[in-house]
Amino acid sequence: MAAVQTGEIADFALDVTAAEAVLGGGLPAKAEQHLNLAGLAYQDDALAEQHLREAQSLAPEHVAVLIGLYRFYFYKGRLADALGVAEICLDKAARANDLPLDWRRVRPGDADFSSFEAILPRFYLFTLKGCAYLHMRLGDTAMGREIVAKLLELDPSDKLGAHVLLGVLDRMDQGDDD
């Protein structure tokens, strides 16, 4: 068995910490409380958003907070706001995976995109897919198509279902809005 270098242990610790954050670990209790209160206040847009913003002020880059904001904006039909949060998540996912910040420069070998068990690369792909979908919904189908093409390049076995989005784009190009 090869000796483990100190740097390898530190790298592993960073990977575990980042993966735990993706799953909600390390969230300050007060931020978690505000996320819970936002959920309870969902029908009151102003109050729910206030709680989400409080959670964000306590844990500005925590994935659980960002996902809470994203979902709130998405389900409230505030798609431009949801896209803004998705882009923050994409930046965070790129940094966590040590990828270029410009998604256009990411290549299949830059991370373990082929493994569905690889949490951080999967988070990157899911976030990229969300960005594609939101661009499509906001009418920027050219950008949506460009992102879907990148998804299929990174995930050629299409574990995330990018072909579904491509089918929607193709139908939109043919004038079928359904």
Phi-psi region of 116 (alpha: psi -120 to 50; beta: other; left: phi over 0): alpha
40 and 88 share a domain?
A: no
- Do residue 106 and residue 73 come from a single domain? no
* Domain assignment present for 147: yes
CA distance 20 to 104: 27
State pLDDT tens for residues 56-109.
999 998 989 999 999 999 999 999 999 999 999 999 999 999 999 999 999 999
Domain extent at residue 41: 8-77
Assess if residue 67 is contained within a domain.
yes
Judge if 140 and 70 occupy the same domain. no
Domain-embedded: residue 168 = yes
pLDDT per residue as tens digits for the range 14-27: 344 555 555 557 88
Is residue 171 in a domain?
yes
Number of domains making up the chain: 2
Which of 77, 94, 124 represents a domain boundary (last residue)?
Answer: 77
- If asked whether residues 165 and 135 sit together in one domain, one would say yes
Residue 8 has pLDDT above 70, yes or no: no
